[in-house]
Amino acid sequence: MLTHLRDRIDDALRRATEVEQLLADPETVKDSPRLAALGREHHRLAEVVIKANRLAKAELELADAREMAQGNDAEFAAEAKAEVDRLELEGDALQKALLPLLIPRDPLNDRPAIFEIRAGTGGDEAALFAADLLRMYTRFIERRGWRIEGISHSDGALGGIKESVFKVIGDGAFGILRWESGVHRVQRVPATESQGRIHTSAATVAVLPEAEEVDVRIEDKDLRIDVFRSSGPGGQSVNTTDSAVRITHIPTGLVVSQQDQKSQLQNKAKGMMVLRSRLLDLRLSEQEAERSRMRRSQVSTGDRSAKIRTYNYPQGRVTDHRVGVTLYDIARVMDGELSAFLDAIALANAEESLSS
């Protein structure tokens, strides 16, 4: 894998030089879309250049330290050996940081993400856990300086939620959040449990790339649109007019219901946005399933029924089952500290892509 890594680094450095030259070309300045695309690529490659230069410097220092560690002066050799250990750790860390930056970039990664959280098995406790996940992801999103745009929301009992659908807008939102899709399982004593027994319940998460009209073509004849009266709490127009919309995509059977907006037109527009994203996601999932049949997959985005993470409150433990990462700090995780999991998944995906 190290040879593949070297080749990818060399390719990335050559491309970084090429992009800088293109950005300085007067012809590029005249082409706004191309200028914007090259600017984004330059921003991504700048991080590769910084880390690659640090890695090259660490490797030169490591070679010198290894030579000094072979000297006759025992005290001097011991200091050099300690420096060897430090530089080896630094080099390994830099290689791991570079890997995700060097794999071919999915153009969908820069899209906003359509994020869906639903209570699964476990009744009221599942709805409470879904609300906990919503708070966890909200904190994570806020820390990254991203923005949330609500699409639909349905409350459950005892402060839980049945479903929450929202759009996440930010740099690389879908590319980072896409790995959160799957079944999240919780093990804890519910507030309603009088005998202190631990219950297991679940919530499901689906993360979809926002689809543009050019991504998915939807024929009017393939749609059945029903209108009905909104239900639940709300202000003017809720519960009084037929503003809620249910859109059924007949060929696939996908159904989207939207009632959070005041007008039928607004609900239809948001419902169509979600439907396009689900249809694009369905196509991507089929492609991922086909790729998985052809190669061993460390990280899959295609199986939404897969249990990806367990949150065990009695032990204060959170385990990601795809990459075998366990953290014994559930309070920090539920406060949105997901970097350890997301970094490990990105690394596993990069290693697989690099070796295939």
pLDDT tens per residue, range 37-50:
888 889 889 989 99
Q: Tell me the pLDDT tens digit for each residue of 208-233.
A: 998 877 778 888 898 899 888 776 55
More confident residue, 313 or 264: 313
Quick one: pLDDT at residue 300? 47
Once rounded to an integer, what is the mean pLDDT over residues 74-93?
Answer: 91
Alpha carbon distance 334, 311 (integer Å): 9
Average pLDDT over residues 119-139: 94
Q: pLDDT class for 305, splitting at 50, 70, 90?
A: low
pLDDT digits (tens, 9 = 90+) for 281-290: 888 877 666 5
**Element holding 2 (H helix, E strand):** helix 2-23
Which residue in 304, 330, 316, 318 sits closest to 185, CA to CA? Answer: 318
CB atoms closer than 10 angstroms to residue 17:
12
- Range of lowest pLDDT (37-46, 80-89, 192-201, 225-234): 225-234
Q: Which residue has the tokens 């476990």?
A: 122
| Mean predicted confidence (pLDDT) in 87-100 | 90
pLDDT of residue 235 exceeding 50, the answer is no
Higher-pLDDT residue of 52, 194:
52
Q: Which residue has the higher pLDDT, 63 or 229?
A: 63
pLDDT surpasses 60 at 238: no
Q: Please give the average per-residue pLDDT across 232-244, as a whole number.
A: 57
- Strands 161-169 and 244-249, by their bridges, are unpaired
Do residues 238 and 232 touch, judged by C-beta distance below 8 A? yes
Higher local confidence (pLDDT), 293 or 152: 152
Pairing of strands 113-119, 161-169: antiparallel
Compute the average pLDDT of residues 318-326.
94
Q: Are 137 and 145 in contact (CB under 8 A)?
A: no
263 SS3 class: coil
The whole-model pTM stands at: 0.73
Residue 125, strand partner residues: none
Three-state secondary structure call for residue 72: coil
User: Alpha-carbon distance 180 to 339, whole Å?
Assistant: 12
Averaged pLDDT of the chain: 86
Structural domains of the chain ordered from first start: 2-102 (1.20.58), 107-210+295-355 (3.30.70.1660), 220-283 (3.30.160.20)
Nearest Cα neighbor of 6 from 55, 64, 60, 47 is: 55
Residue 257: helix, strand or coil by DSSP? strand
